[in-house]
Amino acid sequence: MQGTPYDPDNIFAKILRGEIPSHAVYEDEHTLAFMDVMPQSEGHTLVIPKTPSRNIFDADPTTFMWLMPTVQKIAKASKKAFHANGVRVVQFNEAGSGQTVFHLHFHVIPTYDGVELKLHARQQEDGGHLAHNAEMIREALKFIS
């Protein structure tokens, strides 16, 4: 399919190569999950494939076969870790839809009674707080099949 090519210097590609740090919560052969640095709610996590694709338009269908089990694991673990009332799963494709980082990713956003989600990609969270939340999710993952 024609379209803007994948940029190997996008920020998530750099995270995958270990060139910049992240608060990782889960990794397997095909996927990585880490804390969003500008979370829309407590525990907001991103799930990305290790294969390079820009978004839903250029990704090989098998990419989703690997991604979705990780999205499900993270959704279950974050709901448990933070006693959320639910979890929103969101995915943007191209700038017009709100995509700002052009490596395919799913947002896993816990929701809470009476708490509105913050705006998308606006306010940087404290690193220590993100590290703490990552630890909470890693701990909850031990109980998720």
- Which chain residues interact with ligand AMP by CB under 6 A? 11, 22, 36-38, 46, 92, 98-101, 120-121
- The one-letter code for the residue type at 80 is K
Question: Which residue, 74 or 101, has its beta carbon nearer to ligand AMP?
Answer: 101
**97-130 burial by CB neighbour count: b if 16+ within 10 A, else e?**
eebebbbbbbbbbbbeeeeeebeebeeebeeeeb
CB of 143 to ligand AMP, least distance (A): 25
CB of 10 to ligand AMP, least distance (A): 9
Question: Has 107 been annotated as catalytic?
Answer: no
Site of tokens 């943007």? 92
Question: Which residue, 126 or 142, has its beta carbon nearer to ligand AMP?
Answer: 126
| Catalytic hit among 23, 44, 103, 105 | 105
Site of tokens 């095909």? 30
Question: Which residue, 95 or 143, has its beta carbon nearer to ligand AMP?
Answer: 95
Side-chain-side CA neighbours of residue 52 (13 Å): 12
Catalytic residue ranges: 105
